[in-house]
Amino acid sequence: MKSLWNDSDAAQYQGDLDLRVYTSRLLGQDPSLVLHGGGNTSVKITETNLVGDEEEILYVKGSGWDLETIEAAGFAPVRMAHLLKLAKLQSLSDPQMVNELKTQMTNAAAPSPSVETILHATLPYKYVDHTHADAIVSITNTAEGEQRIRSLYGDTVVIIPYVMPGFDLARLCAQRFAAEAHDNTLGMVLMNHGIFSFADSAQLAYQRMIDLVTLAEDYLASKGAWEVPPATAQPSKASIRGSMAALRQDISRVAGFPMILAHQNNNKGLAFAQHPEVSSLSQQGPATPDHVIRTKSTPMLDRDTDGFARHYKEYFDTHAPHAKQPKTMLDPAPRVVLDPELGLCTVGRSAKDAGISADIYDHTIDVILRATALGGFKALPAKDLFDMEYWDLEQAKLNKSGAPPVFAGEVALITGAASGIGKACVEAMLKRGAAVIALDINADITTLHPRKDYCGIPCDISDKEQLNSALETGIKAFGGLDMLVLNAGVFPGGKRIACLEDDEWHQVLKVNLDANLALMRQCHPLLKLAPRNGRVLIMGSKNVLAPGPGAAAYSASKAALIQLMRIAALEWADDGIRINALHPDAVFDTAIWTDEVLAARAAHYGMSVDDYKRKNLLKTEIRSQDVAELAAEMCGPLFAKTTAAQVPIDGGNERVI
């Protein structure tokens, strides 16, 4: 393991807390040490309070902060004197501990202190670092883990048997450390959990962590258990979007609400899913109990014609009997699915959560394979994992989490999504918690929103191969489809029928009608599997209701699309799919309405540009955002009992009325 300490970089950090920030970020940059908020660090600083008294303060990583990006504000300042008194108690419940920690903070605006705050306080060093190093948990998660750790480190580390994080762990660590530590003690290994290092300088505490973990990596390498070569996977060449959508439907049914299912398209995950012993290796538990919530896994080793429901029933009857207990429940759905054809898939209430599970399980695979090569992977007993999952503090998080966004766990596909109304629809859906598959012929669609819940795909929707490929990519990203917004279209220059060429006519119908028919046909089986029933929103036009001269191809294509919508409403109602249409008009904040064009049209009517934008009965301007907000609402619960509706959004048009 390489040390990332840099003298010139470190010189930019002045003071004890700033150096704490610097080395915390160094630890956070290495995912083999820390993943997604895992691990914690602290520093003890003597300060003068408001009334002039000196007191020692423990600055410990606060809840919700990630070591990779932590700032000074991410550390919670807690009075050391009180923490040391708490450490001498015989017992302290977790809710009591949390209350004591919060009431002893010197800054009420700081984040909640780590549950390991008392542990940090009892270690007699200025700087304390804690990580879940892959190398350490690979060794400790074996039958002879403790013996291996003792032979590796001798008496330079204090070894702590597994105890769930909280007061009991802090008390045990304090007792063991007082009895066993000496001048040459460099660290502390918590079995099945991770490792601590400490020193009176930030650099030395960090360097000790690097040195201790490097010893573990070298030990694994000497046993042929570090660079475990991945097996050769046998990928499936068939389309998997139907299987993904069916699996997502079953997982969502088990969870009780829609979930994102992300396909991890990598050889490691597929090879592990095809491992001959995956059924036993994957069911023992996570690499560390800190990951238990996000890496509950199930191997999908059999399928029936109805998808995965039968396997899930068997799995959860066996592994989740606690789901019947009358308490605030974490949903029993897995966060990791291993399938010999699909490979590794991860699950989350959001795309971000599914991504976190993917990152964690990628490292979990390494830990399992290394421990197996070392003699056999052995995780904690089921009781310890159950206690962690239904810990008082985890229950408290559930009770405080609040209602999720309206489209949490759902997936929307939007066409023509790079600009104008389509772009605004993407933003409206993301704001409501949906994951979005965005298609557009503009290549910029890929980078429009750099976030986990957005998948932008360049696609000419009138090209069948491109469309099929885009659907496969999008469904792999999020697992299924709940909402389809058909927005893409072309509006050619005005041309009267007498001058309209066949090629121009057919090109407009190819994009505005034929491509949308193809999308509806291909998305129908996916929408049927939507956990809360599928929804389709057609972006029509005022021209359907009030056509004008010179727009024959556009008006006819949009009118035909609306007729197609009405037929789909009749045919798809039995599948629970509702389909509605919007008819926007005079939406001027789109690419086709340049300042020059607007000025010319306003001049034609003898109006100012501002008056021209409000040339409707209500004298109001219609923006892309207005259309998008209504489109999103029509996919939401307010319109749950409406299908085949056509709603104008035009400020009132005399010809339409």
pLDDT of 386 higher than 70: no
Q: 236 lies in a domain?
A: no
pLDDT for position 617: 96
Q: How far is Cα 87 from Cα 81, in angstroms, rounded to an integer?
A: 10
**Is 306 a residue whose pLDDT tops 60?**
no
pLDDT at 235: 80
C-alpha distances (whole Å) from 334 to each of 241, 307, 316, 338, 547 are 19, 16, 9, 10, 53
Which pLDDT belongs to residue 301? Answer: 42
Beta pairing class for 54-61 and 75-79: antiparallel
Half-sphere exposure of 89 (CA within 13 A, CB side): 17
CB atoms within 10 A of CB 538: 25
519 within 8 A of 489, measured Cβ to Cβ: no
Q: Region 154-171: what's the mean pLDDT? A: 93
**Last residue in a domain, options 335, 370, 400:** 400
Per-residue pLDDT at 77: 98
pLDDT given for residue 37 in this prediction:
74
Q: Which residue has the higher pLDDT, 113 or 331?
A: 113
pLDDT in tens, 530-552: 999 999 999 999 999 999 898 99
Q: Do residues 238 and 304 touch, judged by C-beta distance below 8 A?
A: no
More confident residue, 321 or 616: 616
- Of the candidates 153, 206, 454, 554, the residue annotated as catalytic is 554
The pLDDT, as a whole number, for residue 399 is 54
Residue labelled with tokens 């660090």:
41
Nearest to residue 633, comparing CAs of 447, 429, 491? 429
- The 3-state DSSP class for residue 350 equals coil
Its sign, for the CA torsion 430, 432, 437, 441, is: negative
> What is the distance between the alpha carbons of residues 459 and 439, in angstroms, rounded to a whole number?
6
Distance CA 619, CA 203 (A): 66
End-of-domain residue from the set 376, 400, 424: 400
Give which of 123, 124, 148, 154 is closest to 136, Cα–Cα. Answer: 148
With 0-12 CB in 10 A as exposed, 13-18 as middle and 19+ as buried, what is 167? buried
Helix axes 241-255, 309-319, angle to 10 degrees: 40
Beta pairing, strands 578-584 & 336-339: unpaired
Indicate whether 234 belongs to any domain. no
In this structure, the answer to whether residues 100 and 200 fall within a common structural domain is yes
Contact 157, 149 (CB under 8 A): yes
* Residue 215 reports pLDDT greater than 50: yes
596 vs 61, residue with greater confidence: 61
Structural element, H or E, at residue 651? none
Given a contact cutoff of 8 angstroms between Cβ atoms, the answer to whether 455 and 436 are in contact is: yes
Tally the C-alpha atoms within 13 A of residue 145's C-alpha that lie toward its C-beta.
Answer: 28
Structural domain boundaries, residue 525 = 411-587+623-649
Query: Taking Cα atoms as reference points, which of 138, 211, 32 lies closest to residue 149?
Result: 138
Q: Is 441 among the domain residues?
A: yes
Is residue 612 part of the annotated active site? The answer reads no
CB 45 within 8 Å of CB 21: no
Same domain assignment for residues 426 and 396: no
Q: How far is CA 563 from the centre of its chain?
A: 39
Residues 288 and 342 both lie in one domain = yes
How far is 156 from 183, CA to CA, in rounded Å? 9
Clarify whether residues 173 and 279 are in a common domain: no
CATH number of domain containing 552: 3.40.50.720
Average pLDDT over residues 1-8: 96
Neighbours of 350 (CB within 10 A): 19
The answer to whether residue 77 sits within a structural domain is yes
Domain boundary, last residue among 165, 193, 222: 222
On the question of pLDDT at 292 being above 90, the answer is no
Q: How far is CA 440 from CA 424, 437, 488, in A?
A: 13, 10, 8
pLDDT band (50, 70, 90) for residue 94: confident
Cα 308 from chain centroid (whole Å):
23
User: Which residues partner with 347 through β-bridges?
Assistant: 261
Q: Which helix (H) or strand (E) holds 219?
A: helix 202-222
Q: 273: domain CATH number?
A: 3.40.225.10
Cα angle 458, 461, 466; round to 5 = 60
Q: Which two tokens stand for residue 262?
A: 């992300």
Contact 342, 240 (CB under 8 A): yes
The closest of 645, 418, 410, 651 to 538, measured between CA atoms, is: 645
One domain for residues 282 and 314:
yes
pLDDT of residue 316: 45
**pLDDT-derived band of residue 304, with 50, 70 and 90 as boundaries?**
very low
pLDDT at 422: 97
Is residue 381 in a domain?
yes
Number of Cβ within 10 Å of residue 610's Cβ equals 10
Q: In which band, very low, low, confident or very high, does the pLDDT at 76 lie, cut at 50, 70 and 90?
A: very high
Q: What is the pLDDT of residue 324?
A: 42
In whole angstroms, what is the distance from residue 41 CA to residue 18 CA? 13
Same domain, yes or no: 217 and 121: yes
Residue 27 sits in the same domain as residue 163: yes
The answer as to whether 655 is a domain residue is: no
- Whether the CA torsion 306, 311, 317, 322 is positive or negative: it is negative
| 8 Å CB contact between 58 and 83 | yes
Range name among 163-177, 308-322, 418-432, 469-483 with the lowest pLDDT average: 308-322
For residue 48, the surrounding DSSP H or E stretch is strand 40-48
Q: Same domain, yes or no, for 167 and 251?
A: no
Domain count, the chain: 4
Q: Residue 400 has what pLDDT?
A: 61
Q: Which of 75-84, 300-309, 583-592 has the highest mean pLDDT?
A: 75-84
Average pLDDT value over all residues in the chain: 90
Residue 1 lies in a domain: no
The per-residue pLDDT for range 248-284, each reduced to its tens digit, is: 999 999 999 999 999 998 899 999 999 988 888 888 8
pLDDT on residue 540 = 96
pLDDT of residue 233: 83
In whole angstroms, give the CA distance from residue 241 to residue 481. Answer: 10
Contact 21, 70 (CB under 8 A): yes
Following DSSP, what letter does each residue of 237-272 receive, concatenated? -S--HHHHHHHHHHHHHHHTS--EEEEE--HHHHHH
Distance CA 519, CA 528 (A): 14
Distance CA 212, CA 504 (A): 71
Residue 321: the pLDDT is 46
| DSSP-assigned beta bridge partners for residue 244 | none
Q: Which residues contact 625 (CB under 8 A, 6 or more apart)?
A: 424, 427, 428
Counting residues of the chain whose pLDDT is more than 90, the rounded percentage is: 78
DSSP H or E segment with residue 277: none
State residue 328's pLDDT score.
44
Query: Does the residue 466 lie in any domain?
Result: yes
| Mean pLDDT along residues 282-287 | 80
Same domain for 139 and 279, yes or no, is no
Is the domain of 104 the same as that of 167? yes
Distances (CA, A) of 192 to 21, 367, 396, 443: 27, 11, 24, 47
Q: Return the ∠ at Cα 357 (arms to 349 and 42), rounded to 5°.
A: 105
In this structure, are 477 and 598 located in the same domain? no
Q: How far apart are CA 60 and CA 46, in angstroms?
A: 14
Contacts of residue 603, defined as CB under 8 A and 6 or more positions apart, other chains included, come to none
d(CA 536, CA 413): 10
Residues 328 and 370 occupy one common structural domain:
yes
Per mean pLDDT, which range of 237-241, 270-274, 564-568 is the poorest?
237-241
pLDDT of 325: 42
Query: What pLDDT does residue 228 have?
Result: 85
Average pLDDT of the residues in 612-623: 95
Q: Of 314, 362, 305, which is closest to residue 336 (Cα–Cα)? A: 362
